[in-house]
Amino acid sequence: MAPRVRGWGRAGVAAVVGLTLLGAPSSAIAFCRSRTVSIDPSFNPSETGRCFEEGVPLFWRNACVGYSIDNRVSRKLAFEVVANVVARSFTRWTGASCAGESTASSRVSIDVRDVGPALCQKVETALDRPNVNVILFRDNEWKTADGAARSPDTIGLTTVKFNTETGEIFGADMELNTYHHTMSGGEPTANEYDLTSVVTHEAGHFLGIAHSEQQQAVMYATYDKGRSSARELFGDDVRGICSVYRPDGTRPVLGSKVTSGGACDPTPYGGLQRDCETEPESAGCATAPDPRAGAAASLLMAVAGLALARRRRA
CATH number, domain with residue 225? 3.40.390.10
The structural domain count of the chain equals 1
CB atoms within 10 A of CB 99: 9
The per-residue pLDDT for 313 is 32
Amino acid letter, 69: I
Written as one string, the DSSP assignment of 36-52 is SS---TT--HHHHSS--
With CA atoms as reference, report the closest residue to 18 among 50, 46, 1, 40.
40
> Domain for residue 38, yes or no?
yes
> Domain for residue 287, yes or no?
yes
> Domain for residue 162, yes or no?
yes
> Domain for residue 10, yes or no?
no
Each residue of 279-294: pLDDT tens digit?
443 322 222 233 333 3
> Domain for residue 212, yes or no?
yes
> Domain for residue 5, yes or no?
no
The pLDDT confidence band at residue 109, using thresholds 50, 70 and 90, is: very high
Q: What is the largest CA-CA distance in the chain?
A: 55
The pLDDT confidence band at residue 215, using thresholds 50, 70 and 90, is: confident
> Domain for residue 76, yes or no?
yes
With CA atoms as reference, report the closest residue to 17 among 170, 200, 231.
170
E strand or H helix at 200 = helix 195-206
The reported pTM is: 0.81
The pLDDT confidence band at residue 127, using thresholds 50, 70 and 90, is: confident
Per-residue pLDDT at 277 exceeds 80 = no
> Domain for residue 11, yes or no?
no
Per-residue pLDDT at 203 exceeds 70 = yes
List the Cα angle 128/131/136 in 5-degree steps: 135
The answer to whether 306 touches 140, Cβ cutoff 8 Å, is: no
Per-residue pLDDT at 147 exceeds 90 = no
Which tops the pLDDT comparison, 276 or 213? Answer: 213
Per-residue pLDDT at 28 exceeds 90 = no
Q: Determine the structural domain holding residue 109 and report its residue range.
A: 26-310
